[in-house]
Amino acid sequence: MKGVVVKSTGSWYLVRDGEGKLHRARLRGKFKLKGMKVSNPLAVGDRVEFDVETTGEDTAVIHKIEDRENYIIRKSTHKAEHAHIIAANLDQALLIATLVSPRTSFGFIDRFLVTAEAYGIPTVIVYNKTDLYDEDMQEYQRQIAYLYERIGYKVLGVSAHANEGIDTLKELLHGKTTLFSGHSGVGKSTLINLIVPDLDLKTSEISDFSDKGVHTTTFAEMFEIDPETFIIDTPGIKELGIVDIPKQELGHFFPEMRERLNQCRFNNCSHFNEPGCAVVDAVRKNEIALTRYESYLSMLQGEDNRK
């Protein structure tokens, strides 16, 4: 039988077959993914082949993982030198961000965008909690939107609390498999509750102590909105380490740098301190945003990624 992994709890998986029936399944033996050191061989969104066991317990065994079209990956927080696949076979990703409670940094946004670019996943940046903005913050939000829209990313402002922008969000999701990602506390689960009210996802208040979100989604899970539309809710991410992107290729995943790469004096230009660098020149002319260039340098130098 063939199906799609809709939930992963570590050793057991929930697989939906072609008729929509759910099966509790486990992997047969140890799966090694060629050339990849990952903490999870299977991810939500993976297409698999499985057999239902005849033990009478209504369980199944997964014996094949089909090739992935794409995936979102991060450094594992539990295993050194390993990566963790967040989700696979996506049509798009929504990065839920906030200007306040908690604030999402440019560094985090840019790391997510680079990872998505590397695996060919279109991404929309969704700023939630716009109901908390004063006039200055509204203007700042417009500046951020311009910064990203001029390099090809769609930016939306929504408010789960005030139910603003939710219809636009629904239109964006229709007919696609979409990953919802972001820091804890940015309101992913609250937004999903509004989009699909009968799911009633567990949501939690922001911790006043640290102004960081409290993890409410423990495992990634795929939900069906209608037969053609699926969303994947993921645990809140504190940090997003870049995986398997060679330093000399990093600039390829910044659209505004990519279009200038053949204009540098040297083919192997790292866009740091080489003479005749078209990227550095564009930063000086404000054609490339300084925040984006700082994010690039931070990734290039392997600095702490929580900033």
How far apart CA 187 and CA 112 sit, in angstroms, is 17
The CA-to-CA distance between both ends of the chain, in Å, stands at 45
pLDDT score at 205: 42
The highest-level CATH class for domain 250-301 is mainly alpha
Residue 183 marked ligand-binding: yes
By CB neighbour count within 10 A (0-12 exposed, 13-18 middle, 19+ buried), where does 91 fall? middle
Residue 271 marked ligand-binding: yes
Residue 202 marked ligand-binding: no
pLDDT score at 215: 45
- Report the sign of the C-alpha dihedral through residues 233, 8, 10, 115, in that order: negative
Please count the other Cβ atoms lying within 10 Å of the Cβ belonging to residue 175.
11
- Do 62 and 27 touch, CB atoms closer than 8 A? yes
How far apart CA 139 and CA 303 sit, in angstroms, is 30
Residue 187 marked ligand-binding: yes
Task: Specify whether domain 88-207+214-233 bears CATH 3.30.2010.30.
Answer: no
Residue 185 marked ligand-binding: yes
Amino acid symbol at 11: S
- Report the sign of the C-alpha dihedral through residues 188, 121, 108, 11, in that order: positive
**Every domain range in the chain assigned CATH 3.40.50.300:** 88-207+214-233
pLDDT score at 207: 41
How far apart CA 271 and CA 302 sit, in angstroms, is 15
Question: Considering the domain 2-67 in this protein, what is its CATH number?
Answer: 2.40.50.140
- Do 43 and 234 touch, CB atoms closer than 8 A? no
Residue 214 marked ligand-binding: no
Residue 188 marked ligand-binding: yes
Residue 182 marked ligand-binding: yes
Residue 269 marked ligand-binding: yes
Ordered per-residue pLDDT tens for the chain, 307 residues: 999 999 987 778 999 998 888 888 988 876 655 556 777 888 999 999 999 987 766 789 999 999 999 998 877 666 666 788 889 999 999 999 999 988 999 999 999 999 999 999 999 999 999 999 999 999 999 999 999 999 999 999 999 999 999 999 999 999 999 999 988 889 888 898 898 877 765 444 434 433 444 444 456 889 888 888 999 988 776 656 677 788 999 999 999 999 999 999 999 999 998 999 999 999 999 999 999 999 999 999 987 554 4
The pTM assigned to this predicted structure is 0.87
How far apart CA 12 and CA 26 sit, in angstroms, is 5
- Do 181 and 95 touch, CB atoms closer than 8 A? yes
pLDDT score at 38: 78
pLDDT score at 209: 37
Beta strand 59-65 pairing with 22-27: parallel
Contacts of 86 (CB under 8 A, 6+ apart): 43, 71, 72, 73, 74, 179, 181, 220, 234, 237
Amino acid symbol at 145: A
**Every domain range in the chain assigned CATH 1.10.40.50:** 250-301
- Do 97 and 186 touch, CB atoms closer than 8 A? yes
Residue 84 marked ligand-binding: no
- Do 114 and 300 touch, CB atoms closer than 8 A? no
